[in-house]
Structure 1
Amino acid sequence: AALLIEVYQRQKRVETPDTGNIEDDLAGFLENLFAHWRDTPSGNIFRSLIAEAQSDETAAAALAEYSKGRRSHTGRMIERAKARGEVAADVDAGIVADLIASFAWRHLLTGRLDEDEAAIRAAVRYLVRGIGQAS
């Protein structure tokens, strides 16, 4: 597990956009992540790590530790948006990061890394704007 994480971390880093707009930042991040997983060995490596973590406690612990760092990294996009007034002050950036990661992992684990930009942007829009009826 540690070796898989080390190999995965050696791959090119995924760019985290800072456009000044949270929807553009999150959509750009997901598009970059999907391309990274699709176009490099990283997707297969990370998928293998997730699979190993299901039956190996050491792998699960390594994945959990790695994921904490990624959660914090993704959460910084939300914190920047809070500072700009785009996101409510009481929003937990870590929970939003978990929702983004859930969307990404589902696509990785189901072989759907070719999702088009419109679908990614729709998912981000639902997350940022909510799904309730406008009042």
Structure 2
Amino acid sequence: MSEQAADDVDDRRRSIGARRNPDTERAILDAAEAIMAEEGIARFSIEAVAKRARAGKPTIYKWWPDKTKLLLDVYHRQKPASVHMDTGTVEGDVFAFLTGVFAHWGDTGAGQVFRFVVAEAQRDEAAAESLRAYSAERRLQSGQIFQRGIDRGELAADVNVGLCADMLAGFIWQRLLTGRIERDPAQLRQTARQMVRGLLA
């Protein structure tokens, strides 16, 4: 299909105003996810996504200004719900988070995607901004683990939940970027225990 034909298809899908058309958004994300699964990061491009989704490149760039932002949405879309479980204790929640993230990175192409995003952010300011925005959202989400602990009276009231989330992210990023994804449950339980122990009320 020519680019003009793709744009014509996109025009039929486009919703009124700036609001995203859910069908077009889903088609783009489905196409991006399929390309990643079938061809890997090296063959991933906005052009390839547009062709597969039968969507116009202008629409993709309007919603995802750079490739990194689109990759992060694909990455987050694949993340299992078990990563953010409420187990009833902070240590249990941290263990569930570590187990879920490392399984996700080790069993799918998600670890490769995230490594690429971090690498791109070191050389491209648009990629860096996309990573910062994504990380800020995830920081709030991970911080809920520790906020629940405060609310239960399990953690001291003056614990900084954002800093705790940064410590958690720092550990998993360091392991990913140095090729040491941890899968041993005993080691993950020990990590969770040592992370939480100093925060106890």
Q: TM-score, normalised by structure 2?
A: 0.62
Q: Is the 8 A contact 1:14 1:36 kept in 2?
A: no
**Take 1:25 and 1:8, find their aligned partners in 2: how far apart are those partners?**
21
Matched, 1:107 2:175: yes
The residue number in structure 2 matching 1:58 is 126
Percent of aligned positions with the same letter in both sequences? 48
Matched, 1:7 2:74: yes
Counterpart residue type for residue 5 of structure 1: L
Q: Which runs of 4+ in 1 moved over 3 A?
A: none
Say which SS state the counterpart of residue 111 (structure 1) adopts.
Answer: coil
The residue number in structure 2 matching 1:133 is none
**Paired residue for 1:120, among 177, 180, 188?**
188
**Structure 1 residue 14 displacement after superposition:** 4.3
The residue number in structure 2 matching 1:87 is 155
Q: Which has the larger radius of gyration?
A: 2
Deviation digits for residues 44-101 of structure 1, max 9, x if unmatched? 1111000100111110110000000100000001111111111111000000000000
The residue number in structure 2 matching 1:70 is 138
Deviation digits for residues 104-128 of structure 1, max 9, x if unmatched? 1111111211341122222221221
Aligned pair count reads 131
Provide the aligned C-alpha RMSD in A. 1.5
Structure 1 unaligned segments of length 5 or more: list them: 131-135
